[in-house]
Amino acid sequence: MRKIIHIDMDAFFASVEQRDHPELRGKPIAVGYDGVRGVVSTASYEARKYGVRSAMSMQIAKRICKDLIVIPGRYDRYKEVSLAIHSIFHDYTDLVEPISLDEAFLDVTHNKKDIPFASEIAKEIKQRIKKELHLTASAGISYNKLLAKIASDFHKPDGLYIIRPHQALDFIAQLPVEDLWGVGPKTAQKMHKMGIFNGEQLRQCSENHLKAVFGKIGPAFYNYARGIDERPVVTNYARKSVGCERTFLEDLSLPSAILIELYHLVVELTERLEKSKFVGKTVTLKIKFNDFQQITRSITTHKRLRTKNDILPLAKQLLQQIHYSNIHPIRLMGLTVSNSVTEDGNIKSEWVQLEFGFLSTRNKYR
């Protein structure tokens, strides 16, 4: 039986800010951009008491929490702290799968310290994070990734929860389907229309029916309802694309302004391609309009795409296919290179360590 731990840092960005700035401790803070289109990246637990949540509009957050302190994100700092956290993980196992800067899966079935119980390892890791980094983490423990992830959300902050094999079916039976892996708002809505609100109701559906309704992920839902998740803890990922995007503080409809933004996106994209040593043959332009309608346009070439001169002409060509106007302006623009290849032109199969990037916004056209 596998022993899987999911570690989730508590309000990570906000907690780092409160640790580094003692005057912020005990106060409601939100990390993010304090602007018209700013969103909350992370809220401290003091702010969450007022209903402030991640991904919430910063303007709404400030309305519901009058004393909210908005802190600009320091992502280089968060990456630095995240590396220190992962260093602790690797003292116990090299089977560490990073999900984001503040969470990871650990397979401790066979661990470096020969500790027999995963719960003891999780306790040690939590204690070390608190003692060495002055931060708190919550841990979930089970025999697969699905249940370990769900367990880590219980008893937060600074919590530890175990779902043992004999408890799994009863636990899942009462679990809202929204808590299952891969069930987003649209999928949940579709399940609700089918009369499926919890794991027990999901378990009544046949695999064929779930596959017919939800496609490839249908069999996974069938297994999840039964506590089955065979996915391994993966330490490396095959990078399939490199991209970047920007949400504008003001909607854009002026062609010259849009071209300038496209140019800056190309420059940022080429920097990311160089850093990741990624080469592809397909470039994709993503556009989101002010009414949140989203479209993409792609083009594939025989050339290897890695420089500004390679990508900019193709990006401009794709932009010409986009119809925008004063009454249908652009809110967001993104650019991605995919379809990876090696230097000799073959499909790239090399495995690379997952990296985490952060998106930026610009406000040059007021």
Please state the rounded mean pLDDT for residues 183-206. 96
Q: What is the mean pLDDT of the chain?
A: 91
Q: What is the phi/psi pair of residue 8, to 5°? A: -130, 115
Sheet with 103-107, strands from edge to edge, namely 96-100, 103-107, 4-9, 137-142, 160-162
Please state the rounded mean pLDDT for residues 203-218. 96
37 Cβ partners below 8 Å, 6+ apart?
Answer: 57, 247, 248, 249, 361
From CA 284, how far away is CA 334, in angstroms rounded? 8
Nearest-10 crossing angle of helices 75-89, 12-20:
100
Instruction: State residue 239's pLDDT score.
Output: 74
Instruction: State residue 35's pLDDT score.
Output: 84
Sheet with 40-43, strands from edge to edge, namely 40-43, 29-32, 69-71
Give the pLDDT band (50/70/90) at residue 215.
Answer: very high
Give the model confidence (pLDDT) of 23-36 as tens digits.
Answer: 999 999 999 999 88
Give the model confidence (pLDDT) of 276-287 as tens digits.
Answer: 889 999 999 999
Share of the chain above pLDDT 90, in %: 84
Instruction: State residue 41's pLDDT score.
Output: 94
Bridge pairing between strands 160-162 and 137-142: parallel
From CA 103, how far away is CA 361, in angstroms rounded? 25
User: Whose CA is closest to 29, among 47, 10, 51?
Assistant: 47
Please state the rounded mean pLDDT for residues 172-192. 94
Give the pLDDT band (50/70/90) at residue 179.
Answer: very high
Give the pLDDT band (50/70/90) at residue 342.
Answer: low
* Active-site amino acid positions: 103
- The residue with greater pLDDT, 299 or 351, is 299
- Let me know if 365 is exposed, middle or buried by CB neighbors in 10 A (0-12, 13-18, 19+): middle
The answer to whether residue 207 scores a pLDDT higher than 90 is yes
- The residue with greater pLDDT, 60 or 37, is 60
Share of the chain above pLDDT 70, in %: 93
Asked if residues 255 and 319 have their Cβ atoms less than 8 Å apart, the reply is no
Give the pLDDT band (50/70/90) at residue 345.
Answer: very low
Give the model confidence (pLDDT) of 106-153 as tens digits.
Answer: 999 999 999 999 999 999 999 999 999 999 999 999 999 999 999 999
The answer to whether residue 357 scores a pLDDT higher than 70 is no
The answer to whether residue 359 scores a pLDDT higher than 70 is no
Q: Is the peptide bond before 72 cis (omega within 30 degrees of 0)?
A: no
Structure tokens at 207: 């695999």
Give the model confidence (pLDDT) of 218-259 as tens digits.
Answer: 999 999 999 999 999 998 766 788 999 998 988 999 999 999
HSE at residue 288, side-chain half, CA atoms within 13 A, is: 11
From CA 71, how far away is CA 13, in angstroms rounded? 10
Query: What domains can be seen in the chain, in order of their start residue?
Result: 1-163 (3.30.70.270), 167-224 (1.10.150.20), 241-340 (3.30.1490.100)
From CA 222, how far away is CA 207, in angstroms rounded? 6
Cα 82 to Cα 104, 111, 311, 319, 353: the distances in Å are 10, 21, 33, 37, 15
Asked if residues 143 and 3 have their Cβ atoms less than 8 Å apart, the reply is yes
Question: In which region does residue 220 sit, left (phi positive, over 0), alpha (psi from -120 to 50) or beta (all else)?
Answer: alpha
